[in-house]
Structure 1
Amino acid sequence: MNDELKALHTNQTWHLVPRPTTTNIIGSKWVYRIKYKSDGSVDHYKARLVAQGFNQVAGLDFSHTFSPVVKSSTIRVVLTLATIHKWHLKQLDVNNAFLNDNLTETVFMEQPPGFQDPNRPNHVCKLNRAIYSLKQAPHAWFQRLSSFLITLGFQCSRADPSLFIFNHDGTLIYILVYVDDIIITGNNERFITSFTNRLHKEFKIKDLGSLSFFLGLEVTHTKFGVFTRNLKLKILAH
C-alpha cells in the first residue's frame, strides 16, 4: 500500500482541496491481489487504490469511456507468425498505466482509506491524472499509448486497433496491447531492445521476459513451437 501511494504521489496524481459542496465526489477503496509464479508459488502481493467510478455522473466528471482490447483471433495470428518464423515473444507490463495521462474532466475523490492527511482530514483529492476504475481511464491510457507508438513509426491495424505494426527497411515488429499488458515480437531483436528502452523512458515498464501468461492464456514454449493451454491452441513450427 505504501508502494502504491508512493507511485501515486510521484506521478502527482492529485492534490488536496477543501471539500466542495455543490459537485459530485466519488469514493476510493483498496483492492488486493496475490500474483503467482508459473510454479504456483507466491511472486508478490499487490495493493491498488481504485476509484469508485460507478458513482461518476455522465457529462459532469466523465465523457468518453470506450477503449479497444485485442481480439483473441489477433493473438492467434501473431503467435502463429512468431512460431513459424522462430521470433522471440517478449511480454511487458506497464506499472500504474492509467497514471500516464492527464484528465480533461474535473474529478473529485475521497482520500485513500487509512491514509487521510491528519492535518486536512476533510479535504478531498482533486485528480490531475486518471486512476484505476475511473470510467474514462482506459480510454485516456489507450490514447496516450497509441499516440506515442504512432510517433515512433508504428501503424494501427485496420483489422484490430490494439495491434500496432512497424514495417520499415526490412524490420517487421508486431505489438499487441491489452490495457497495461503488452506483447512484442518481430524479426529484429536489436530494434525490440532499443524500442523497449525507449518505452521504459516514456512509461514505467516491467520486462516480464518470454511470454508466459496473457489474458488467461497460459503459454508454454517447446522445441516444436508454442502450446497455449486455455485456448486449446497448439502451434507447431514448420
Structure 2
Amino acid sequence: MHDELNEFERNKVWRLIPIPPDASVVGLKWVFHNKMDNEWNVIRNKARLMLKGYFQEEGIDYEDTVAPIVRLKSVHMFFAYVAHKNFEVFPMDVKCAFLNGEIEETVYME
C-alpha cells in the first residue's frame, strides 16, 4: 500500500481539496493480490487503489471508459515486427503505467 501511495505522490496525480457540493464523487477501494512464482510460492504482495467505477452511470458520471491494458492485436503486431527485424526482446514490469495518462475532466474521489 505504501508503494502505491508513494507512486501517486511522486507522480503528483492528485491533490486534496474540498469537494464542491454539486460534484459527482467516486469511491475508492484497495485491491490486494499475491504474485506467485512457477511453483505457486508467494513472491510479492501487491496492493492497488481502485476507483469504484461500477457505481457510475453512463451519460451522468462518465463519457468514456479507459483501462490500462494492451490489445492482443497490438501484441501480435509488435512481435511480428520484432521477428521481422530480428530484435531481441526483454520482459519488464511497468509500475503504475496508468499514472502517465492524462485526462481532461476533474474527478472527485473519496
TM-score (norm 2): 0.76
- Give how far 1:102 is off: 2.3
Counterpart of 1:78 in structure 2: which amino acid?
F
Which residue pairs with 2:45 in the alignment?
45
Amino acid aligned to 1:102 = E
The runs of 5 or more residues in structure 2 that have no matched partner are none
The C-alpha deviation readout for 1:140-190, integer Å capped at 9, x for no partner, is xxxxxxxxxxxxxxxxxxxxxxxxxxxxxxxxxxxxxxxxxxxxxxxxxxx
Check the 8 A contact 1:32/1:46 in 2, yes or no: yes
Q: Supply the distance in 1 between the matched residues of 2:97 and 2:39 (Cα, whole angstroms).
A: 27
Q: Please, what is the CA RMSD of the aligned residues? A: 3.0
TM-aligned CA distance change 1:6 to 1:65, over 3 Å: same
Aligned to 1:178: none
Tell me which amino acid in the other structure corresponds to 2:25.
Answer: I
1:34-183 aligned at under 5 Å gives the runs 34-59=34-59, 61-65=61-65, 69-71=71-73, 74=76, 78=79, 82=83, 88-110=88-110
Q: Which has more strand, going by share of residues?
A: 1
Q: 1:14 to 1:57 in 2, by over 3 A?
A: farther
Q: Which deviations, in whole Å up to 9, do the C-alpha atoms of 1:56-88 show, x marking residues without a partner? A: 34455532336761239928x938x85xx9864
Pick 1 or 2: higher relative contact order, CA cutoff 8 A, min separation 6: 2
SS at match of 2:93: strand
The percentage of aligned residue pairs carrying the same residue is: 36
Ranges in structure 1 where 5+ consecutive residues have no aligned partner:
111-238
AA partner of residue 76 (structure 2): T
